[in-house]
Amino acid sequence: MTAYIPNPEKQEYNITVYTENQIGLLTRIAIIFSRRKINIESLNTSPSEIESIHRFNIVITETEAVVRKVCRQIEKQVEVLKVYYNTNEDVIWQEMALYKVPTDQIAEKALVERLLRENGARAVVIRHDYTVFETTGHREETDALIERLQPFGLIEFVRSARVMIIKDSEGFNRKLREFESLEPGQEVSENEFLNSADKVFSM
């Protein structure tokens, strides 16, 4: 039994969900939050170390009591294997951001080299009309570079969802591998007919 720790303070929680790869599962998970009017601040889906098993990384700001209940509701879904929730201290996390700025501005007015070094950024594309920088880090770091680039006519900014790895132990890995070796996952079945409308007789 997990001891109940009263925690009235809301804080960021990182939720990791291991699932089968199934169409519709994203909705099934997302509505568990929207039903309770909880805003999803970041959502990432990706494969896990096991090919057929996917993982969701979801970030919300809530109390632990609410997060725990929400996680139990997620874990209850038929195609969900396991759910963990962690505070920021318990995970290694990263977000990636891209910034597009006019090349003439940045080349003429900024000390580009210093800017990049100080913000751990790198140039991904340099064209005569614009340059795209990339940086990876915590929210404060990606935010900081926005402020630095704003005076140079920042054209476009985008930040990825958060990806995180739980610090503690080897996580769910052994169990997952066991799962997979006992019963390999099934391939997702997609609609094969969307592009063959003309060839199908229907009414």
In DSSP terms, 125 is beta-bridged to 132
C-beta atoms surrounding 97 within 10 Å: 20
* Per-residue binding letters, 6-25, with another protein (x by CB under 8 A): -------------xx--xx-
Of 51 and 79, CB closest to another protein:
79
Residues 150-179 that bind another protein (CB under 8 A): 179
Out of 36, 76, 117, 177, point to the residue binding another protein (CB under 8 A).
76
Of 104 and 180, CB closest to another protein:
180
86-94, 117-125, 145-153, 187-195 -> range binding another protein (CB under 8 A): 187-195
Q: Is 4 in the site for another protein (CB under 8 A)?
A: yes
Q: Is 103 in the site for another protein (CB under 8 A)?
A: no
Please tell me the total number of residues recorded for the chain in this structure: 203
* Per-residue binding letters, 28-57, with another protein (x by CB under 8 A): x--x---x----------------------
**Can you say whether residue 143 is alpha, beta or left, with left for phi > 0 and alpha for psi between -120 and 50 degrees?**
alpha
**Residue 163 phi, psi dihedral angles, 5° rounding:** -110, 140
**Residue 63 phi, psi dihedral angles, 5° rounding:** -80, 160
Residue pointed to by tokens 């929400």: 70
Out of 10, 36, 47, 79, point to the residue binding another protein (CB under 8 A).
79
Please give the DSSP secondary-structure letter assigned to residue 39.
-
Out of 63, 69, 139, 157, point to the residue binding another protein (CB under 8 A).
69
Q: Is the dihedral of CA 100, 102, 106, 112 positive or negative?
A: positive
Choose among 172, 174, 162: nearest CA to 17. Answer: 172
Please say whether the beta carbons of 128 and 103 come within 8 A: yes
Q: Which residues bind another protein (CB under 8 A)?
A: 1, 4, 19-20, 23-24, 27-28, 31, 35, 68-69, 72-73, 75-76, 78-81, 179, 182-183, 185, 189, 191-197, 200, 202
